[in-house]
Amino acid sequence: MTKNINIRKATTPDIPVIKILAEETWEPTYSSILSKEQIDYMFDVIYKEEALQKQMQAGQTFLLLYEQDKPVGFASFSVKDQDEHIFKLNKIYLLPACQGKGYGKLLLGAVEEEVKAQGAHMLDLNVNRYNKAKDFYKRCGYYVYQQEDIPIGPYWMNDYIMRKIF
């Protein structure tokens, strides 16, 4: 990592920063594949400050990526199946202006190192079947493991589950 990039674990006082980053990344990420109503509904369910606090309390670890002391991205992960040593990448987002700089690969690599240090043999993630990020994950060594349709309120997430084995 260059000296201008820093990744650190987030804590409860960082929740407002995570929310702001989510506000700046969600619409550009999903506007071409989900309706505005679905984006707004899901954002409200996932990124209210109380929801983020519950996610942290339930075991999600959040990482923040900084470029020259400015937060530009975040990721979160948690244990998916303790017995099988499977972890899950729950979220990974970068500000649109910071995409294409290799930061996604750095942030994903930081998550992979964290979960391996905690005993992970595999890391799973969900990606919308129409999200171009699927190609990024393939380049990083993930493969489509299965697909699933997840109800979220009145909407559906049509996802691939991608997996990387360590």
Distance CA 77, CA 164 (A): 14
Provide the whole-model pTM.
0.95
pLDDT at 1: 46
* Beta carbons within 8 Å of 104's beta carbon, 6+ residues apart: 73, 92, 94, 136
pLDDT category of residue 3 using cuts at 50, 70 and 90: low
The tens digit of pLDDT for each residue in 115-141 reads 999 999 999 999 999 999 999 999 999
Whichever domain contains 61, its CATH number is 3.40.630.30
Closest to 9 in 3D by CA, of 124, 111, 112: 111
Domain carrying residue 41: 5-165
The tens digit of pLDDT for each residue in 28-74 reads 999 999 999 999 999 999 999 999 999 999 999 999 999 999 999 99
Give the chain's domain count. 1
